Amino acid sequence: KAGVTQTPRYLIKTRGQQVTLSCSPISGHRSVSWYQQTPGQGLQFLFEYFSETQRNKGNFPGRFSGRQFSNSRSEMNVSTLELGDSALYLCASSFEYRGGYTFGSGTRLTVV
């Protein structure tokens, strides 16, 4: 079956712009989580959605937001981009909490 699909794979944006990243989970997975990965901070949890509701949230400013649609696809949005937002953004889906996550290949965002 198809894995977790993240689009686009690479993105270059200018400071102050906004960006929307997309994630399509594995069919049947209702939980989608987002992580930011940087060399300095490692993997940091952004938020988790389950059945269109945000269930968990990490310590990121309000510029970072997300949503989940009825088909479990998820988007995350970053407004007013800063240079420090340059990172690999990873999406992961899961069927239930004991099974672990299946990750997508990520979206590499570069802010210039």
Partner 1 sequence: AQSVTQLGSHVSVSEGALVLLRCNYSSSVPPYLFWYVQYPNQGLQLLLKYTSAATLVKGINGFEAEFKKSETSFHLTKPSAHMSDAAEYFCAVSNNNNDMRFGAGTRLTVKP
- Within 10 angstroms of residue 8's Cβ, the number of other Cβ atoms is 11
Residue type, 72: S
Among 4, 19, 21, 26, binds partner 1 (CB under 8 A): 4
Please provide the distance, in angstroms rounded to a whole number, between the alpha carbons at the two ends of the chain.
Answer: 37
Judged by CB under 8 A, does residue 66 bind partner 1?
no
Cα distance between residue 24 and residue 76, in whole Å: 12
Smaller CB distance to partner 1: residue 43 or 82? Answer: 43
Residue 20 interacts with partner 1 (CB under 8 A)? no
Query: Binder to partner 1 among 11, 13, 22, 45 (CB under 8 A)?
Result: 45
Show contacts with partner 1 in window 72-101 (CB under 8 A). Answer: 90, 92, 94, 96-101
